[in-house]
Chains A and B, each alone.
Chain A
Amino acid sequence: MPSPRFPIPQGTLDMLILQILSLKAAHGYGIAQRLEQISRSVVRVNEGSLYPALHRLQQKGWLRGEWKQSETGREAKFYSLTPAGRRQLAVEKDSWARLSGAVNLIFEEGSR
């Protein structure tokens, strides 16, 4: 079932997860929903790649997981940022800004 939305660029998923969690701790399903909302349904997140990403970030020490009661009353694993994760987010934001700035500059030059 091909989707009209374009797939999320390689490598940005981690950054988006960190960004979402920087606002509030969330469980996997919550993150998936939030990703859709935030990106106003233009970005398609493959749910299959969400959990490997979460576990990878946790193993790197940027996230911590905790079993807590969710809004439905069932226990769910809530992820939140560690201080190291917060620092990593700042680094990624910064390099993203520089990259997109540079790309924009090149595009503007080409269209002039």
Chain B
Amino acid sequence: MTQLFNWFRRRSLERGLDRELQYHFDRRVADLAAAGIPEPEARRRVAVELGLAQVREEVRDLWLTRWLRDLLYDLRFSARSFLRSPGFTATTLLSLALGIGATTAIYSLVDQVILHALPVREPERLVLVDWNGDDLITGAFGSFNLMPYPICRDLQQQTRFLDGVLCRAEIQVNLTAGGDPRPVAAEIVSGTYFPVLGVGPALGRVIEPEDDASPGAGPVVVLSYDFWQAQFGGAADIVGRKVLIGNHPMTVIGVAAAGFRGVDVGAVPAFWIPTSMYADANLATNEDLLNSPTRWLQILARLRPDVTPAQAQAGLQPWFKAWLQDSMLRPGFPMISADRRRDYLASTLEITSAPQGHSPLRRSLSQPLWLLFAATGVLLGLACLNVAGLFLARGSARGREIGTRLALGASRGRIGRQLLADSLLLAAAGGVLGIALAPPAMRALIVFLPRDLAANALRPSLSLDLLGFALATSLAAGLLSGLAPALHAGRDNIVNSLRERGGAGFGGVRLRKTIVTLQVAFSLILLIGAALFLRTLTGLLAKGPGFDTSSLLSFAIAPLQNGYSRADASRLVRRLDEQIRALPAARSSAAARFAFLDGGAWSNKVTIQTDRRTVSDRAVNFNAVSPGFFATLGVRVLAGRDFDQSDSRPPGETGPRCAIVNQAFVKRYLAGRDPLGVRIARGGGGTDVKPNSPIVGVVADMSYRGLRDNSEQVFFPLFEGEDAGATFYVKLRGAPEQAIPSIRRLVRQDDPRLPILWFRTLDDQVNRSLNTERMLAALSGSFGALALLLSLIGLYGVMSFVVTRRTREIGIRLALGATRASALRLVLRDAVAMIAVGIATALPCVAALGKLVQSQLFGVTATDPATVATAALILAAGALAAAFIPAWRASNVNPTDALRLE
């Protein structure tokens, strides 16, 4: 550190040393003169005694270690020479900045979505506790890793392995805090949640175990810091205020620490309430959730410091076996057959490390993000290769300078170091530019991600981690792009390089050809990737959801969240369904219990009664729809009939009267028989499952969770009893803008306090559901184009160089009677060889990488010959065009000019 400081005050240090030595010198000369030695002789003797130059060098080495001093001088020299060739500098800087910027931006998303540990105490000790085995017996709602509440409570006692256990579930509730109720995402958590995570309050207190002691014990709310800031302006007197959750009054007891956003990166809660208040959270059930075996929460636990997840998993199995046995005796456990009982008892606990918390979103996004990250890595590699190529070209232009330095006695190592300093300086500058480019790139990327996630969880800002990453990347890029030229420097014969005329020295042709070949290979990989994702996207768009989305509008309400009873909610939905159908703006209208194309589904196994009783081998997706639903969406009824009013049950009665299945269901489970009249039931196996709903119709396949989904589906009549909550689908006569106000008015007339969760056109929804595909296609497309451009520039550069070197040879050939065409062929042969080797290198890589991307593709395999051939053809055509220009120039050389060149 002092040494670096010394570099900046080296002038004054030098001056001081000079004065000091001069003083010594003068005194010594004076003393000797006084002793009778003549002054010139005295001066000579003192100069020998002191060895001034030597002393100065030694002292300088003390101020600044030799290598550091050399490096700093090298960097200064590099900076000056870069400023002298701005074109070269700008090209290399831009390639590096693009590569580093793109890599940094993607890495920031990878980090935020996948890698980032929760901002809690010792996140590395957190584990996810999951159920491994038959999970359809006890019923569940929510998504992924669901567990019943009693396990969370009972697991607390297992202190040999665990330092604490928490459970949590996402909920959607209506919050009223002055003004109208608004739907808000929140988290319902056990009393151990905050203590186990080690998250404290920013204000007031957090939820504690006492709040969760018994049902209804803690009507309290802890706000998230962000929500407190955004909704309450960071009001200091927030603690103690009353808010309405649904229509239940609760008290704000505190604000959680800033920066804590729950344990799921894809679902950022606005506030937390204790699980004791589950009845007020309006979950879709009337059960006693604190004691029933229904699975609805995720469990996270903190391992004891010296315990690994594997040890805990092994150690907890005996306890879990006993727990399973015991749970079958508890009230609320379904009646099941002996087979199913055996399956149930064979379940195990699965404990996995979860420092990043729980996130289903991470599951769906991590693969696309890693893919893009790999693609940017390849792109950065390409940029480095390009810079290396440019450096080599510059090295040949500098051949004489370097030759001269070598001749004057510079060591080859010293020259190599100078070149390395060049590339490091360039990489550092490229890195700084890249970092400047990263935030806008991140903002652009976030647009492609699911909107809920983008709005809440991701920030296009630079963190210290990210800066470190960008700097490390730049350094690696600098080393990569500078190493080959540096090693290459001085390999040529000094005499030769001095003798040669400016420009043509320092070959490195083979090295440069290798670089271009690699570039061709890399860009072909990216091009093929781009083509595959583009085909996936267009394929999905062409396939569509299986129904006509034009002029189709959907909106949703959730009356349970506003404190409606199930019977009242059911009456409301029926009323609205009829009123909307009567609107002049609506051509037709229908309602469904769950929204389509939303990523979620209601699913379970199905028991089918034909001449024998069978259970579906996998979960089937369900929905409940009102009469006219299929007609409204334009889904064809292939056999039988649609639901009609007589299929609905009045509020108070439950159970579906009949069912409609889709074509995929018939194909898988009822192939070769008449599906109409076959009786089915939701749920599999249990003796209490009675297949008594006859199939009355078969409809064409339509997408449920997303566009890729072609699952087996069963539809039930919407009003099979106390149906609550609904998504309405309205086929419009005019534009949605005209219909929305009248629908809003209708709902407001019925209940002014009931919010409409969202309005979406189905076109928009199809678009949204293709977010990931669009992101992959757009980004891999632009990476592919960029890669192509970089490698074409590289190829053009190397071909021009080769042509310049061979101008004389070509001139002689032409003078001796060769045709222009043969000269052209001579040059192009080189290019064709490079392109062919590049393509040949890329193809096995594509085959190997194909397995990784296959799951992201639709309607095309990763090694689809047509796609691969098209990409290779585009690349080859572009590359030949780039090589043709210099080749053409070569063939048009005037023999006399070429010969006069030497």
Residues of A within 8 A of B (CB): 27-29, 32, 47-49, 51-52, 55-56, 59, 70, 72, 74-77
Contact = CB atoms under 8 A, between A and B. Distances in A.
Given A47-B24, A52-B55, A77-B19, 8 more contacts: A51-B17, A51-B58, A52-B62, A59-B62, A74-B23, A74-B26, A76-B20, A77-B23
A75 B19 CA distance: 9
A4 to B, nearest CB: 16
Given A32-B24, A76-B23, A77-B16, A47 B62 contact: no
Given A48-B50, A59-B2, A77-B16, A28 B24 contact: yes
Given A51-B55, A52-B55, A55-B62, A29 B49 contact: no
Interface residues of B, number: 20
* Residue with the highest number of chain B CB atoms closer than 10 Å, among A55, A59, A72, A76: A55
Contacts of A28: 20, 23-24
A47 B308 CA distance: 66
Contacts of A77: 16, 19-20, 23
Given A55-B59, A55-B62, A48 B49 contact: yes
B41 to A, nearest CB: 13
* Residue with the highest number of chain A CB atoms closer than 10 Å, among B27, B28, B63: B27
B20 A48 contact: no
Nearest to B27: A29
B59 A51 contact: yes
30 contacts: A27-B23, A28-B20, A28-B23, A28-B24, A29-B23, A29-B24, A29-B27, A29-B28, A47-B24, A47-B50, A48-B49, A48-B50, A48-B51, A51-B21, A52-B58, A52-B59, A55-B59, A55-B62, A55-B63, A56-B62, A59-B2, A59-B62, A74-B26, A75-B23, A76-B20, A76-B23, A77-B16, A77-B19, A77-B20, A77-B23
Nearest 7 A-B pairs (CB), nearest first?
A52-B58, A48-B51, A29-B27, A29-B24, A77-B20, A55-B59, A76-B23
A15 B21 CA distance: 22
Contacts of B20: 27-28, 51, 76-77
A55 B20 CA distance: 11
B54 interface: yes
A112 B202 CA distance: 82
A72 B59 CA distance: 26
A47 B23 contact: no
Contact of B27 (A48, A59, A72): A72
Contacts of A72: 27
A51 B50 CA distance: 9
B542 to A, nearest CB: 74
A19 to B, nearest CB: 20
Nearest to A61: B2
A75 B15 CA distance: 14
A42 B17 CA distance: 29
Interface of B: 2, 16-17, 19-21, 23-24, 26-28, 49-51, 54-55, 58-59, 62-63
A47 B21 CA distance: 11
Contacts of B21: 51
Contacts of A27: 20, 23
A27 to B, nearest CB: 7
A48 B46 CA distance: 10
Nearest to B20: A77
Contacts of B59: 51-52, 55
Given A29-B24, A59-B2, A47 B49 contact: yes
Contacts of B24: 28-29, 32, 47, 51
A77 B783 CA distance: 63
A38 to B, nearest CB: 18
A51 B19 CA distance: 12
Contacts of A76: 20, 23
A14 B21 CA distance: 19
A67 to B, nearest CB: 8
Contacts of A47: 24, 49-50
Contacts of B2: 59
A76 B17 CA distance: 11
A76 B26 CA distance: 11
Nearest to B51: A48
A70 B27 CA distance: 11
A5 to B, nearest CB: 14
Nearest to B26: A74
A29 B27 CA distance: 7
Contacts of B28: 29
Contacts of A32: 24
A12 to B, nearest CB: 18
Contacts of A48: 49-51, 54-55
A8 B853 CA distance: 74
Nearest to B13: A55
Contacts of A56: 62
A60 to B, nearest CB: 10
Nearest to B58: A52
Contacts of A29: 23-24, 27-28
A75 B24 CA distance: 11
Contacts of B63: 55, 59
Nearest to A59: B62
Contacts of A74: 23, 26
A77 B59 CA distance: 15
Contacts of A52: 55, 58-59, 62
Contacts of A55: 17, 59, 62-63
Contacts of A70: 23
A14 B871 CA distance: 73
Contacts of B27: 29, 72
B43 to A, nearest CB: 14
Contacts of A75: 19, 23
A74 B16 CA distance: 14
Nearest to B56: A51
* Residue with the highest number of chain A CB atoms closer than 10 Å, among B17, B51, B59: B59
Contacts of B16: 77
Nearest to A31: B24
A51 B13 CA distance: 13
Contacts of B26: 74
A52 B27 CA distance: 19
